[in-house]
Structure 1
Amino acid sequence: MTAESVTTPSPALGAEYAETASAAYAAALKVIESVEPRIADATRQELADQRDSLKLIASENYASPAVLLTMGTWFSDKYAEGTIGHRFYAACQNVDTVEALAAEHARELFGAPYAYAQPHSGIDANLVAYWAILNTRIEAPGLAELGVKNVNDLSEADWEQLRTKMGNQRLMGMSLDTGGHLTHGFRPNISGKMFHQRSYGTDPETGLLDYAKIAEAAREFKPLILVAGYSAYPRRVNFAKMREIADEVGATFMVDMAHFAGLVAGKVFTGDEDPVPHAHVTTTTTHKSLRGPRGGLVLATEEYSGAVDKGCPMVLGGPLSHVMAAKAVALAEARQPSFREYAQRIADNAKALADGFLSRGARLVTGGTDNHIVLLDVTSFGLTGRQAESALLDAGVVTNRNSIPADPNGAWYTSGIRFGTPALTTRGFGADDFDRVAELVVEVLKNTQPDGTSKAKYTVADGTAERVHAASAELLSANPLYPGLML
């Protein structure tokens, strides 16, 4: 296992780290087992399942034992609504330390003026960002127009006027079928209900963002917020150009980098491709390519920092102090030089996976990748995304179905499969391994037949799943997950 793996985030730790982690988990499971043995059994089984599968879900990774262990402490027992040094509960001095460290590591890692570590998830981070922008752009000026300094001084009629004004704003984000996220204005999501929304897409021929067309749409729509970022777009984004578009129409520029934050932290994305210097507000999750606990962050310029800092009680409940502690540990790991090497391998491995698919005749959205995502169009195999996802799972390959541009099968059955390289890169997979993964995926899909009566049913040729499982086991055994962890 390499120095950048989840087992040894620093070469200096080595075998002692693995031995200590193994003892810690064995002891923890023994304690859990004494109360509810079925939970202990499920936990052991989950580790066994993850060890035995090719995890290619772009939004998943493997956190280090240090990160995972940090979440299992008495910080879980604390209520700490408020902000650092200004809590609504007593005895939060240690929570202040934890939150301050998480924010400090985030600021230093991303070069951001301000960081907020409380969001419980990426969606929470986006909600904090949206309301902070509304409060900064609309509420404060609106109060001044109404002749008051505090919302508590508003009459009911004034409140109604202010609510109408805040709820009458426009948001423009990437459409779901071209790679955007639910929280970028998708109508069934709260973001699509909070705002008057319009989506921008990609060029129908190339699948790439067309900045001239985005600018044209922004001039016509004049959004208050222009959102960039993606969950299934396999290319980099020029955030400098997007900021120019936002500035031209007077929009606040917000970037959701939840998927590619690890590539930003690892300096794979720099200059115009690094969103933080260009965005007014940047949100992210802390798992995915950052390899931390499940949670969110908001980064912001000073202009928006005061409003973001009111995320609790504005949007959030009590912060999860134990998760903030784990965020601090993960962000400290990401500041080590080895993380940059890991991030570069994520991108290199994605290219190897894409090249492996293309060399075997598969069709990729945009024709390739230059980030961590590969989006496979499975219609060339005569399958829906739902059928392909299930057939691959039968063979021990864990992926997720995903829409492709102008998807004929909609958002449930889909026509695509999304692959991501962060997790298997954490396990130590290299370019040759990912070429082999592409070969195995294509073997499964070529040997899968759709059931004409259903977009979900299918049959896999006899022996295919067993062959792929056996081949996967060879790759996995050469790159063990948490080696030395004996449970």
Structure 2
Amino acid sequence: MEVDGDLMRAVVAEEDRQHSQIELLAPKNYASRATREAFASIVSFTTIEGYPGRRFHAGMVNLDAIERLAIDRAKQLFGCSYANVQPHSGTQANQAVFYALLESGDNVLSMSLRDGGHLSHGLRSNFSGKWFNVANYGVDKNSGLIDYDAVREIARKHRPKLMVVGGSSYPRRIDFERFKQIADECGSYLLADISHFSGLVAGGVHESPFPHAHVVTSTTNKNLRGPRGGIILCDDEGLGKKLDSALFPGIQGGPLPEYISAKAVAFKEALSVEFKEYAQAVLRNARTFCSVLSSAGYDIVTGGTDTPLVMVDLRSVGLTGDVAAESLEAAGIPCNKNLVPGDPEGPRTTSGLRFGLSAVTTRGFRDEATRDIAEIVVDVLDGVRKAGAGDAQVEKSAKDRVELLARRYPIYLRA
């Protein structure tokens, strides 16, 4: 019996879109069937508050078991002694850390949004920038890499109570040990937000922030291939108690048990040998994608990548990110416009593009297929350069090639 035909048509249209396109959005990925079944299970009808063994509702014995599974697997996955699996998102995980460690008006040091940071790390229009006194560090204007000496100089001047590393568009490895040295000099806590490469950390192809960071946060839906949500990790029992209280009842009410269930499944999958192979393939694909675009004359921010992210600076070819992203979407390749270091444009226009290779790797893309999609991206961008806007004929040709690739590497959503 059909209950809501309008909604069904929208969902089916979205399913068709995802199957026919190749998405290169950095946060994008696909959860396994088992993970999807977990967050569509009967536990979604349960309301819970508090933590395992310390709930405020009756009938929690099975929910306690589920959450303990997720906690234990997260700790094993990242090699730490504490995990909170309740945050609804990475941003709320960061909010809980700020709430646990800081008082309103305390000093914070984080990477600027224009250089690769994240809005929840101190953007003025975000709570983190309104409640705290935030200073920013950036990257070297020539290399695009973090200038650690400059970071130390800013930290000594600002004396932050919390330093934040990680972000949404910095593609290179972070020297966590060096950041910890700077934090120690200033008596600061160190928070590592590894949302865009936590799957690579779990898979052993990116350095772990432990034992250097005091607290680690991440989303669970990017290259961890879980449901949308967040986690908080640390290796200090006393600090863990503060983080628990900061999340609940501090900034968040009851968690979503269906998503905790799905996180448990995703963490188990991430502990497998197959996931380690996946993480290696993500990094290999990202570097292959970089190589193709670079060879075609497009500037890669920092000259490469150590993560699933590929950042392209379009200034040397006279393009803006908004026009380029619009044409790529018309060709069936969603990505996003993005600020790049030294960007003269605003966030609605930008001079760059941000690509992520996590989702296509899940679909089965490896070297040849990654080169194929990168070459299609180049053709579309070349078309924009020649026409000054999206070239409809180029976009149509590219879309046909994308649909062929999509059929060769289907999403496993359909039975």
What TM bracket, shorter-length normalisation?
A: over 0.9
Deviations 1:367-422 (A, max 9, x none): 11121111011223322111111110011011011100121111121111100100
Secondary structure of 2:389 counterpart: strand
Q: Which residue of 1 aligns with 2:239?
A: 304
User: C-alpha distance in 2, partners of 1:317/1:201?
Assistant: 35
1:449 Cα deviation after fit: 5.5
Q: Is the 8 A contact 1:395 1:466 kept in 2?
A: yes
TM-score relative to the length of structure 1: 0.83
Deviation at 1:312, TM superposition (A): 1.0
1:88 aligns with one of 56, 77, 81 = 56
User: After TM superposition, what 4+ stretches of structure 1 lie above 6 angstroms from structure 2?
Assistant: none
CA contact (8 A) 1:381 1:445 kept: no
1:70-119 per-residue CA deviation (whole Å, 9 max, x = no partner) reads 11122222221111111111111221111111111100000011000000
Q: Report the residue type matching 2:173 in the other structure.
A: R
Name the structure 2 match of 1:459.
Answer: 389
**Structure 1 residues not aligned, in runs of 5+:** 1-32, 135-165, 452-457
In the alignment, the residues of structure 2 paired with residue 44 and residue 97 of structure 1 have an alpha-carbon distance, to the nearest angstrom, of 35
**Identity percentage over the alignment?**
41
Residue 230 (structure 2) pairs with residue 286 (structure 1):
no
Counterpart among 62, 67, 76 of residue 30 in structure 2: 62
- For the pair 1:185 / 2:153, whether they are aligned, the reply is no
Partner Cα distance (2:325, 2:391) in 1: 16
* Count of matched residue positions in the alignment of Structure 1 and Structure 2: 413
Indicate the residue corresponding to 1:367 in structure 2: 303
- What is the Cα deviation at residue 45 of structure 1? 2.2
**How far apart are the structure 2 equivalents of 1:266 and 1:327?**
16
1: distance between equivalents of 2:404 and 2:175? 40
Q: For each residue in 1:43-90, what CA deviation from the matched residue of structure 2 results, as whole angstroms up to 9, or x when unmatched?
A: 222222111111101111011111112111222222211111111111
1:363 and 1:449, CA in 2 relative to 1: closer, same or farther beyond 3 A? closer
1:232-260 CA-partner distances (Å, limit 9, x unpaired): 01111110111111111100011001111
Match of 1:476 in 2: 406
Q: Are the aligned partners of 1:383 and 1:450 in contact in 2 as well (CA < 8 Å)?
A: no
Map 1:75-474 → 2, pairs under 5 A: 75-134=43-102, 166-269=103-206, 273-302=207-236, 303-310=238-245, 311-448=247-384, 459-474=389-404
RMSD of aligned C-alpha atoms? Answer: 1.4
C-alpha contact 2:323 2:390 (8 A) present in aligned 1: no
SS of the residue aligned with 1:418?
Answer: strand
Q: Which amino acid aligns with 2:64?
A: D
2:139 alignment partner, SS class: coil
Output the TM-score relative to the length of structure 2.
0.97
- Structure 2 gaps of 5+ residues are none
Q: Classify the secondary structure of the residue corresponding to 1:90.
A: coil
Which amino acid letter does the alignment assign opposite residue 390 of structure 2? V
The superposition leaves residues 297-340 of structure 1 with CA deviations (integer Å, 9 ceiling, x where unpaired) of: 00012231001112111111111011100000111111111000
CA-CA distance at 1:204 after TM superposition: 0.5
2:17 to 43, 49, 70: 49
**Separation in 2, partners of 1:91, 1:200:** 49
SS at structure 2 position matched to 1:54: coil
Q: Secondary structure at the match of 1:386?
A: helix
Residue 129 (structure 1) shift = 1.2
| SS state at 1:198 partner | strand
